[in-house]
DNA sequence: GTCTATACGAAGATAGAC
DNA sequence: GTCTATCTTCGTATAGAC
């Protein structure tokens, strides 16, 4: 069963957000990348661009949560490695031209006030923190340490991906990964 | 001596980048915020928008480097605290509506290929890593650990600011700060 | 150094036919 | 569900007078 036109548009929006940012994710680009017909934009997304972008970062958020949950049962070091492997694949496949679609929406800033997209981005980030903290706790990280360490992992990986994009080098990303990996080792008492 | 028109435009661009992103930093906004006359855009920036943005992130970069250098001679914990205090002030003064101007340029992605602005952003990030690693080394962090830890601090602070913006809460930012502060304490053997 | 006026393109959004 | 056509707004950039 082929993916629906709507799903193709959302998938294209995820990729465009990650590579060109919020304003680079125009309808023209989305239609060009997805092959969707122009006339179907407001049929599938009556709320216009905001609805498309919100759907995109929610899908991206759910995919990352699914990956995090798949790490359940692993050790803290393995969880860190698995999480960073996901991000490194983004850099590798795009050759430093892609990053995080949720971060792109966050820093684009919208109109400045209580923007709906910013709230959606915040919910995605929170869902990542919860899922990661849960698998870390299941992996043996002490109760009080799992939440803050999960937040650090997410913040640091977001920043590391951005640094590596700007510097076009894996060096910042790998350095951050190694330091956090050592920290995770400390939770295992090895 | 009053700041020149050019300096006012650059300052406004720095703030607009941090709050509204790259595409939100239009000439209209810059002129409105700086009070500069419209006719002087291409007089001060013959290279157009790219030249203005490049100047803005370089100024923002130099300011952060100056703050980092002012922490020379302090302990690792004090350096971490000073660095995070700078970012927390950004969140506080803007009430979660501002972040890092260099990150905004990085994530906006330009045209996708070898963009000049992305290179400029990369150089700024590298200058932060060097300056921070230097003060950490001077503060007693072992030679091999200063560079990676500096990179982690920058990546994590960038991500933490973004998370707190999206969630409109100091919680992620403060959590990241505390974990890294503890790590810095480890370098002091207290 | 600064002004007005304007060219040119692309964006999001809507209307109405098919 | 999809199409074409169009509206409006806003972006960067340029020309030429003052």
Q: List, in order, residues 6 or more apart from A137 with CB less than 8 Å away.
A: A143, A146
**Partner-chain residue, chosen from B126, B149, B163, that has the shortest CB–CB distance to A167:** B126
pLDDT at B114: 44
pLDDT band at A112 (very low <50, low <70, confident <90, very high): very low
Interface test with B, best of A20, A155, A173 (most B CBs within 10 A): A155
Kindly give, in sequence order, each residue whose CB lies less than 8 Å from that of residue A7, ignoring residues fewer than 6 positions away.
none
Residue A172 contacts B where some CB pair is shorter than 8 Å: yes
- Which run of H or of E encompasses A168? none
Using the CA of A23, give the nucleotide whose C1' is nearest. Answer: C11
Question: What's the predicted TM-score (pTM) here?
Answer: 0.96
Nearest CA in chain B to A23: B23
Q: What length does chain B have?
A: 190
Cα–Cα distance for residue pair A121/A132, rounded to 1 Å: 17
On chain B, the residues whose CB falls within 8 A of the CB of A151 are 160, 163, 172, 175-176, 179
Q: What percent of chain B has pLDDT over 70?
A: 95
| Residue B189 confidence class, pLDDT cut points 50, 70, 90 | confident
The per-residue pLDDT for B40 is: 86
The reply to whether A39 Cβ lies less than 7 angstroms from strand C is yes
Give per-residue pLDDT as tens, B101-150.
999 999 997 654 446 999 999 999 999 999 999 999 999 999 899 999 99
Residue with tokens 């465009």: A16
Cβ pair B151:A172 closer than 8 A = yes
* pLDDT over threshold 50, residue A114: no
User: How many C-beta atoms lie closer than 10 Å to residue B182's C-beta?
Assistant: 14
Give the distance, in angstroms, between residue A38 CA and nucleotide D6 C1'.
15
Q: Is the CB of residue B86 inside 7 Å of nucleic acid strand C?
A: no
Q: What residues of A are in contact with residue B121 (Cβ under 8 Å)?
A: 166
pLDDT, position B109: 78
Rounded CA separation A45/B140 (Å): 56
What are the tokens at A97?
A: 């031209």
CB contact under 8 A, A159 and B163: no
């Amino acid at each position: 069963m082929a993916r629906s036109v709507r799903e193709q548009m959302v998938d294209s929006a995820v990729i465009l957000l990650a590579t060109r940012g919020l304003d680079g994710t125009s309808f023209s680009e989305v239609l060009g990348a997805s092959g969707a017909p122009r006339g179907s934009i407001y049929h599938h997304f009556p709320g216009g661009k905001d609805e498309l972008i919100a759907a995109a970062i929610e899908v991206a958020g759910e995919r990352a949560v699914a990956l995090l949950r798949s790490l359940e049962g692993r050790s803290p070091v393995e969880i860190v490695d698995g999480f960073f492997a996901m991000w490194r694949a983004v850099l590798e496949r795009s050759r430093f031209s892609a990053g995080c679609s949720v971060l792109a929406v966050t820093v684009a800033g919208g109109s400045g006030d209580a923007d709906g997209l910013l709230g959606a981005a915040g919910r995605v980030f929170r869902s990542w923190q919860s899922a990661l903290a849960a698998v870390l706790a299941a992996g043996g990280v002490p109760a009080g340490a799992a939440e803050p360490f999960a937040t650090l992992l997410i913040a640091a990986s977001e920043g590391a991906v951005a640094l590596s994009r700007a510097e076009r080098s894996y060096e910042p990303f790998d350095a951050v990964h190694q330091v956090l990996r050592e920290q995770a080792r400390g939770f295992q008492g090895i």
